[in-house]
């Protein structure tokens, strides 16, 4: 039994640790709160976000992720608050992550602000042993039913109405998910994030925004995501993205109303995994309650 578990864990680690540890999002530019707590409240509105991602469709045990978050400025002060929940399923594992974010913003000039953020996280990790087809019962595996682990993170976020750059570490504490003879088979490591974006007004009706996300994890290749989105008449958005040596993505979005925005993304694999799946789908909505006569102080792009 233990040999089977170790073999599976090694395979599982090869897929997950190499490609992703934290939940992966194509439309990261709309979902910044999950990786950088300093983003909380930066849009100047009560912002409600919900996302569903189905990765590598057709591949048994492929990741399925659901994310919900709420963030808002606090009582016209420099404080921002946020709460987010991520539900992530990969193979026989099931994780629920609940995070609370607190940010503090300092104006550095008339148009630029610098925000600092901290994140507190509670993680519940569950291993479904029945999906491993065990022949014997291993009592040690029962310790991984809704196993709780806390974490803390931090970030900085420099932003204006036209540009942003952020650095963050969502989780400072490394967590061993499965130990065999004191050797970590699946270890959740520290993830380092750098994000950046800029909005360029091409004319009165078209805006262009390039964006960048880089993620560094010890023992894994540097992940680089670059994207470019066009917004037409502040209503319709279309763009493409490239995840280095992993996938090409197409993205569309529509500003349904002043408060509601809908987006969809599709990933085309550029690795050998393309032979075993039909791509990845990601859909999200963002609903916002605006202040100041229903006008935002920041662009809808981020």
Q: Per-residue pLDDT tens for 19-44? A: 346 788 999 999 999 999 999 999 99
Q: Span 76-90, mean pLDDT?
A: 94
Confidence of residue 68 (pLDDT cuts 50, 70, 90): very high
Q: Strands 147-159 and 163-169, how do they pair?
A: antiparallel
Q: Examine the pLDDT at 158 and tell me if it is beyond 80.
A: yes
Q: Which of 53, 116, 87 is nearest to 247 (CA)?
A: 53
Which stretches of 147-260 are DSSP H helices?
Answer: none
Give this prediction's pTM: 0.85
Confidence of residue 297 (pLDDT cuts 50, 70, 90): very low
Q: What is the DSSP string of 11-49?
A: HHHHHHHHH-SSPP-TTGGG-GGGT-GGGTTTTSEEEEE
Q: pLDDT for 204-235, tens place per residue?
A: 999 999 999 999 987 788 899 999 999 999 89
Lowest mean pLDDT among 177-181, 248-252, 258-262, 295-299: 295-299
Task: Tell me the Cα Rg of the chain.
Answer: 20
Q: What's the structural domain count of the chain?
A: 1
Q: Span 60-81, mean pLDDT?
A: 93
Share of the chain above pLDDT 90, in %: 60
Residue 250 Cα distances to 29, 269, 271, 277, angstroms:
14, 12, 17, 17
Q: Examine the pLDDT at 15 and tell me if it is beyond 50.
A: no
Q: Span 125-130, mean pLDDT?
A: 78
pLDDT the model gives residue 182: 52
Q: Span 156-185, mean pLDDT?
A: 80
Q: Examine the pLDDT at 180 and tell me if it is beyond 60.
A: no
The whole-chain average pLDDT of the chain stands at: 84
Q: Domain limits at 89? A: 1-12+19-301
Residue 243's CATH number = 2.40.160.40
Q: Hey, what are 297's tokens?
A: 């102080």
Residue 245 Cα distances to 204, 225, 272, angstroms:
36, 10, 11
Contacts of 161 (CB under 8 A, 6+ apart): 111, 199, 297, 298, 299
Share of the chain above pLDDT 70, in %: 81
């Amino acid at each position: 039994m233990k040999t089977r578990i170790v073999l599976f864990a090694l395979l599982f680690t090869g897929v997950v640790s190499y490609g992703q540890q934290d939940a992966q999002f194509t439309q990261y530019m709309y979902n910044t709160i999950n990786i950088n707590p300093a983003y909380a409240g930066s849009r100047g509105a009560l912002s409600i976000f919900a996302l569903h991602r189905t990765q590598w469709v057709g591949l048994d045990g492929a990741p399925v992720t659901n994310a919900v978050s709420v963030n808002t400025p606090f009582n016209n002060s420099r404080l921002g608050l946020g709460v987010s929940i991520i539900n992530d399923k990969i193979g026989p594992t099931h994780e629920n992550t609940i995070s609370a974010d607190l940010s503090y913003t300092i104006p550095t000039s008339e148009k630029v602000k610098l925000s600092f953020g901290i994140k507190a996280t509670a993680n519940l990790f569950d291993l479904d042993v029945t999906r491993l087809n065990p022949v014997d019962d291993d009592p040690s595996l029962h310790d991984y039913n809704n196993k709780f682990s806390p974490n803390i993170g931090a970030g900085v976020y420099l932003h204006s109405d036209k540009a942003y750059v952020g650095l963050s570490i969502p989780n400072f504490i490394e967590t061993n998910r499965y130990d065999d003879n004191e050797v970590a088979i699946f270890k959740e490591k520290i993830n380092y994030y750098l994000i950046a974006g800029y909005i360029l007004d091409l004319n009165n009706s078209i805006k262009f925004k390039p964006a960048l996300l880089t993620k560094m994890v010890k023992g894994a290749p540097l992940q680089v995501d670059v994207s470019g989105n066009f917004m037409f008449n502040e209503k319709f958005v279309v763009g493409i993205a490239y995840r280095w040596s992993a996938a090409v993505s197409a993205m569309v979005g529509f500003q349904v109303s002043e408060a509601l925005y809908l987006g969809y993304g599709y990933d085309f694999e550029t690795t050998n995994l393309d032979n075993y799946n039909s791509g990845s789908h990601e859909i999200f909505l963002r609903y916002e309650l605006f202040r100041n006569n229903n006008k935002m102080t920041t662009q809808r792009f981020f």
